């Protein structure tokens, strides 16, 4: 059984054998064997084990004699807006944007397709129709394109920062200002392929925030992303000494999160505003906090 997986952003520029090793969780020698036998390859181009992954590559897995389990479905994923061109879902925590090797949980794309939603064929194999993504551990609004027209236009709007993306985040500590902007470039951290950091060699990143509510040990903020770098909100708030509550990867206090019964970073994509790709009407879609994030807010309010 074959599976197509877009090359993970964190592995772009890595040797092919190293990337396969990390994607499958196998030794490097085993990864070399899989490449040599053709069980793992790059779609539409030849790549040796010592070649490097490029942006836009799609890794093809044809694991002989190994039955790949069918993807579970996100049955509780609500559709909050849909027409002939686009669909906006309220992605639950624990759902990935698209399939990847090593991920065995549900995906937005797979769950929509299983419901019979037509998705454009434009985009990298395995992530067709996706013009922006949310982390597995982040809940909230995510837009997927159904028509070719929508994909081309929404990709342009996201790339040119014309889409308004509002998140709510609960950060540790008491922010010293009621509103501010964090402008700092973000790139991969040397300590890990899957972590990012503020670095002069990174890509420009701009995060605007406003305080919504203050608590004794945390602050609730509304965040407007001007750019859309991987882990941008998490990295930027960590860089100013206020990591997101529950985000141990970026320095949050795990004991505080445990006491609040929070098993992920407190971050939710609350609102999307964009010009409809066909009608050109300015469109706003909104979400609400899921139960686990509401529970945490109730707890911190009680302790205020």
Q: Answer yes or no: do 58 and 15 share one domain.
A: yes
- Which CATH number goes with the domain that contains 233? 3.30.2350.10
Q: Answer yes or no: do 35 and 87 share one domain.
A: no
- Give CA separation, 174 vs 214, 218, 222, in Å: 7, 6, 14
| 87-113 pLDDT, tens digit each | 999 999 999 998 776 677 899 998 999
Q: Answer yes or no: do 119 and 85 share one domain.
A: yes
Q: Answer yes or no: do 141 and 201 share one domain.
A: yes
Report the percentage of the chain scoring pLDDT > 90. 69
Q: Answer yes or no: do 122 and 246 share one domain.
A: yes
Q: Answer yes or no: do 110 and 6 share one domain.
A: no
Does 254 have pLDDT greater than 50? yes
Does 25 have pLDDT greater than 90? no
Q: Answer yes or no: do 163 and 89 share one domain.
A: yes
In a domain, 97, yes or no: yes
Q: Answer yes or no: do 199 and 105 share one domain.
A: yes
Q: Which residues pair with 109 in a beta bridge?
A: none
Domain count for the chain: 2
In a domain, 88, yes or no: yes
Write down the pLDDT at residue 101. Answer: 64
Residue ending a domain, choose from 35, 62, 89: 62
Does 128 have pLDDT greater than 50? yes
Residue ending a domain, choose from 62, 87, 112: 62
| 206-234 pLDDT, tens digit each | 999 999 999 999 999 999 999 989 899 99
- Which CATH number goes with the domain that contains 25? 3.10.290.10
**pTM, entire model:** 0.80
Q: What is the mean pLDDT of residues 177-190?
A: 93
In a domain, 71, yes or no: no
In a domain, 289, yes or no: yes
Q: Answer yes or no: do 175 and 280 share one domain.
A: yes
**DSSP string of 198-256, one letter each residue:** E-TTSB--EEEEEEEEE-SSEEEEEEEESS--TTHHHHHHHHTT-PBTT-GGGT--HHH
- Residues acting as catalytic residues: 135
Does 24 have pLDDT greater than 80? no
Q: Answer yes or no: do 112 and 183 share one domain.
A: yes
Count of CB atoms within 10 A of residue 66's CB?
10
Range of the domain at 16: 2-62
Q: Answer yes or no: do 110 and 254 share one domain.
A: yes
Q: Are 198 and 236 in contact (CB under 8 A)?
A: yes
Q: What is the mean pLDDT of residues 279-296?
A: 97
In a domain, 239, yes or no: yes
In a domain, 119, yes or no: yes
Q: Which of 143, 95, 150, 83 is nearest to 121 (CA)?
A: 150
Q: Band the pLDDT of 6: cuts 50, 70, 90.
A: confident
In a domain, 16, yes or no: yes
Cα–Cα distance, 121 to 158 (Å, whole number): 19
Q: Answer yes or no: do 186 and 103 share one domain.
A: yes
In a domain, 162, yes or no: yes
């Amino acid at each position: 059984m074959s599976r197509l997986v877009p090359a993970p952003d964190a592995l772009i520029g890595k040797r092919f054998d190293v990337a396969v090793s990390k994607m499958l969780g196998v030794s490097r020698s085993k990864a070399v064997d899989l490449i040599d036998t053709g069980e793992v390859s790059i779609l539409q181009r030849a790549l040796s084990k010592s070649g490097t992954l490029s942006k836009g590559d799609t890794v093809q897995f044809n694991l002989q004699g190994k039955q790949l389990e069918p993807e579970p479905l996100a049955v509780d994923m609500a559709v909050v807006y849909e027409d002939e061109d686009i669909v906006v879902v309220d992605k639950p925590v624990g759902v990935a944007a698209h399939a990847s090797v090593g991920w065995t949980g549900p995906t937005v794309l797979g769950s929509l397709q299983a419901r019979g939603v037509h998705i454009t064929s434009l985009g990298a194999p395995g992530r067709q129709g996706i013009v922006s993504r949310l982390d597995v551990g982040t809940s909230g609004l995510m837009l997927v394109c159904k028509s070719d027209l929508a994909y081309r236009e929404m990709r342009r709007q996201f790339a040119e920062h014309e889409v308004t993306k509002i998140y709510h985040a609960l950060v540790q500590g008491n922010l010293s200002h009621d509103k501010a902007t964090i402008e700092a470039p973000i790139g991969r951290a040397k300590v890990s392929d899957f972590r990012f950091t503020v670095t002069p060699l990174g890509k420009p990143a701009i995060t605007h925030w406003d305080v919504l509510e203050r608590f004794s040990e945390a602050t609730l903020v509304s965040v407007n992303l001007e750019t859309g770098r991987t882990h941008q909100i998490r990295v930027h708030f960590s860089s100013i000494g206020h990591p997101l509550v529950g985000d141990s990867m970026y320095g949050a206090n795990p004991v505080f999160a445990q006491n609040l019964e929070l098993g992920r970073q407190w971050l939710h994509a609350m609102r999307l505003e964009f010009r409809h790709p066909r009608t050109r009407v300015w469109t706003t879609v909104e979400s609400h906090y899921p139960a686990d994030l509401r529970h945490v807010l109730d707890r911190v309010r009680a302790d205020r």
